[in-house]
Amino acid sequence: MNFDDWLLWGFVGTVVLSVVVAAGQGFGLTRMNLPYLLGTMFTPDRDRAKLVGVGCHFLSGWAFALLYLAVFHSLGRATWWLGALAGVVHAAFVLAVGMPLLPALHPRMANEQHGPTVVRQLEPPGFLALHYGVGTPVAVLVAHMAFGAILGAFCDIDLR
Amino acid sequence: MTEAAPKIQDYAVIGNGRSAALVSRGGSIDWLCWPRFDSPSLFGALLDPRTGGSWGIAPALPAEVGRRYLDGTNVLETRFRTATGAATLTDFMTAVSEEDKRRLLLPEHELVRRAVCEEGEVELVVRFDPRPDYGRARARIRDAGALGLRIDMGSWLVALHGRAAFMPAEGGGVAARVRLRAGEAVAFALTFSAEAPGVVPHLGDAAGEKLALTAGWWRRWAARARYDGPHRDAVVRSALVLKLMSYAPSGAIVAAPTTSLPERAGGDLNWDYRFCWLRDAAFTARALFGLGYEEEAEAFCSWLLHATRLTRPELRVIYDVFGETVPRESDLPHLGGYGGSRPVRTGNGARGQVQLDVYGEVVEAVTHFAGRGRPLDRDTQAMLRHYGEYVCRHWEEPDNGIWEPRGERRHFTHSKLLCWVALDRLLALHRDGRVRGIPAARFAENRDRIRRDIEERGWNPKLECYTQVLGGETLDASVLQMAFLGFAGASSERMRQTYRRVVERLGAGPGLVYRYEQSLGGREGAFAMCSFWLADFLARGGGSEDEARESFASTLRYANDLGLFAEEIDPDTGEALGNFPQAFTHVGLINAALSLEERERRDCGRLTVAAAGGRPQAVREVRP
């Protein structure tokens, strides 16, 4: 595996993923804001949370890029469409399993069994993160496909 | 055992901050939607006794019935006295702290019913007849022995637990007879699970423990109410009702837990209120902050900011509890409707309306929030700025107005008033450095133009009052909000004249008013929220303290025996009309009481100053 490729294209992939989700917000498709969700694990301050969250997001982007590269290695090839396919699996896992689990991991997130005690917390994303807008699954899917496609297209997996 | 169909005011409400059920005076649960307020009903006899389904527990013999909420709780106690004995039925949805939830494995939703025989002997008839999906789906009840009666609804499971020999009942469902002697008790728990496997609840002594935990939770919550004015019991009851209407996972507050209870007996003014109206935001924020329920108020404001994110800078009129668009309005033709009032509707057609007042309501609510020293992050500041710009661009356009009539759009005075509020509050937030970067000169110019428009065209010199629409001849109680929102002092000549005219033309008896003149010929009831506005207006300087107290007490008399209000009141019979219980009415009650409390404190302070030989202060307008 080429270390420089992993760093560079993991970074680029995460940037593109973030841009796609942010565009989804801008077009009124979703309220999903990954840096904000991650950042509020560490601080309740909304502005600070976004900053902290961006840092966390890139770290997790690199971590996931490693997984993608491991997949490419095991399959012995790396192409944009294989990366996009891995992105579909990744997005499906995030939406169907990760998001419903998030309230159990996130210290400032309510769950759907929460109440009647109210504390000022983030709303739970629900199955497929539909509570953050019905367009959320689409935005998350497209973003992860783009992430995978970039890694698949540009990473040199060095199969010697 | 037969009983007449319950009136709307014959119902009580119980809940757990995520869903609510209506229990009739006769011990029948006639309305329950799980898992959310706006989910299809499991019991819907409220809207059709034959098709909707219900869960009754009542003596086999005719009984005298009395009921109450346990003090400071949403736990309902119904007492039956028959010729052979007396029994008490206690109904509640388990509501415990998050710490207790971590300690105990509880079902996702649980409704507990516990009957205790206090004297003699009482035979109870338990009739369990669930009809999922508003009665459209057939409930296959499977007896799983110790695991209870189970109804599989796709991946969801509803189960009834409790010791009774259930047999298939004529007309549907199952029924059992339970004979209790003095000192004996029987408990049932209905549970809901969306995540398999479901939790089997403990009953017997455990039901008593759950009751103690639930009552304790509600009492601790109710004790936090910061209110020392008149009618404290009614105010605390209203706070408890408001809490039942709140959806804890998101902080949203629904207008009512029911759909299609008629605003006109036998008529077609039947709407689905199981959603969240932005229109109620400012009043709700003031009521919650005013009573000291800061967490609930902050959660509500948080929901408000989150829910409106997808459509900003445009705002919808209604959102669901997670900020999604509410479903399109549709009829349920298989349901006969409450008292034959059809159609029964789900979803709400007002979702597509334009109501310019919502901008003022949201900005005002955020102002309450910011006024407590909360910082506004950059996103929120930008959002508020965009609302102000939207108002500047659109305030001169007609809209559907606060009462959501389904006709053509008009220039409602109330909508212009709230546009003025939006700009006025944004300029104040800008002055305080809370919102940066707003075009202050443009906002100020538009705000002043709106004021001029209202004063020149919203005021009818012939009628000597503010009117429903600019240049109009008809009256609308919503213009009384000018005092609440600081547009005009309640003691100003114009407001006093307007108040007199509203009472004269819209009055429906002591402490009651219709919301607008269009109500007069349509058999619509007096509007409970507007009726509390009368007392609020008087308390804010529109009248004397005694007048305000009297008006408040007059309206309070129309609560049911448990202190609950619907949306409207039939002035002739005093009966409740419309969805029940109605959060907006209880918010109006709380706000009027808070104004009364402040008036008392102010008058008391003035008397103290005068008694000490000092000069009394001029009466200051109370700002929300």
Partner residue opposite A118 with nearest CB, options B108, B295, B379: B295
**HSE-CB for B199 with a 13 A CA cutoff:** 15
Sign of the C-alpha dihedral computed for residues B334, B337, B339 and B340 taken in this order: negative
Whether residue B581 has a cis bond before it, omega within 30° of 0: yes
Q: How far away is chain A from the Cα of B514, in angstroms, using its nearest Cα?
A: 34
Partner residue opposite A115 with nearest CB, options B248, B322, B379: B248
According to the model, what pLDDT value does residue B606 have?
67
Residues of chain B with pLDDT under 70: 1-4, 196-197, 522, 606-624
Q: What is the rounded CA–CA span in Å between residue B329 and residue B331?
A: 7
With CA atoms as reference, report the closest residue to B533 among B576, B563, B503: B503
Partner residue opposite A118 with nearest CB, options B296, B306, B322: B296
Can you spell out the DSSP letters for B432-486? TTSS-S--HHHHHHHHHHHHHHIIIIIEETTTTEE-SBTT----BGGGGHHHHTT
Predicted confidence (pLDDT) per residue in B83-141, tens digit = 999 999 999 999 999 888 888 888 889 999 999 999 999 999 999 999 999 999 989 99
Q: What is the rounded CA–CA span in Å between residue B64 and residue B3?
A: 12
Query: What is the mean pLDDT of each successive set of 10 residues along chain A, which is 160 residues long?
Result: 86 95 88 89 87 94 94 92 96 92 88 80 87 92 97 78
Which amino acid belongs to residue A39?
Answer: G
Report domain extents, chain B.
Answer: 8-222, 224-611
Phi, psi of B169 (to 5 degrees): -105, 150
Please report residues of A whose CB lies closer than 8 A to that of B298: 120
Give the contacts of B288 (CB within 8 A, at least 6 positions apart).
B242, B294, B296, B297, B300
Give the residue ranges of DSSP H helices in B34-141.
98-103
B214 touches chain A (CB under 8 A): no
The domain B8-222 having CATH identifier 2.70.98.10: the answer here is yes
Chain A residue with CA closest to B322: the answer is: A131
Which amino acid belongs to residue B579?
Answer: N
Per the CB < 8 A criterion, the answer to whether A108 and A42 are in contact is: no
**CB spacing of B221 vs A114 below 8 angstroms:** no
Q: Which residue has the tokens 């029924």?
A: B175
According to the model, what pLDDT value does residue B266 have?
81
According to the model, what pLDDT value does residue B2 have?
41
A104 touches chain B (CB under 8 A): no
Please report residues of A whose CB lies closer than 8 A to that of B296: 118
Please report residues of A whose CB lies closer than 8 A to that of B16: 115-116
| Backbone conformation region of residue B600, classed left if phi is above 0, alpha if psi is from -120 to 50, else beta | alpha
Predicted confidence (pLDDT) per residue in B254-306, tens digit = 999 999 999 988 878 899 999 999 988 888 988 999 999 998 988 888 888 88
Q: How far away is chain B from the Cα of A57, in angstroms, using its nearest Cα?
A: 20
The ipTM assigned to this model is 0.77
Per the CB < 8 A criterion, the answer to whether B430 and B440 are in contact is: yes
Within 10 angstroms of residue B611's Cβ, the number of other Cβ atoms is 8
According to the model, what pLDDT value does residue B614 have?
46
**CB spacing of A117 vs B248 below 8 angstroms:** yes
The highest-level CATH class for domain B224-611 is: mainly alpha
Chain A residue with CA closest to B295: the answer is: A119
Mutate to test the interface with B, among A31, A36, A113 (most CBs of B within 10 A): A113
Mutate to test the interface with A, among B377, B383, B386 (most CBs of A within 10 A): B377
DSSP label at residue B561: T
**CB spacing of B251 vs A120 below 8 angstroms:** yes
Q: What is the rounded CA–CA span in Å between residue B423 and residue B139?
A: 54
A vs B: CB pairs below 8 A: 84
Within 10 angstroms of residue B542's Cβ, the number of other Cβ atoms is 24
Q: How far is residue B225 from each of residues A20, B216, B230, B367, B597, measured CA to CA in Å?
A: 46, 15, 13, 22, 13
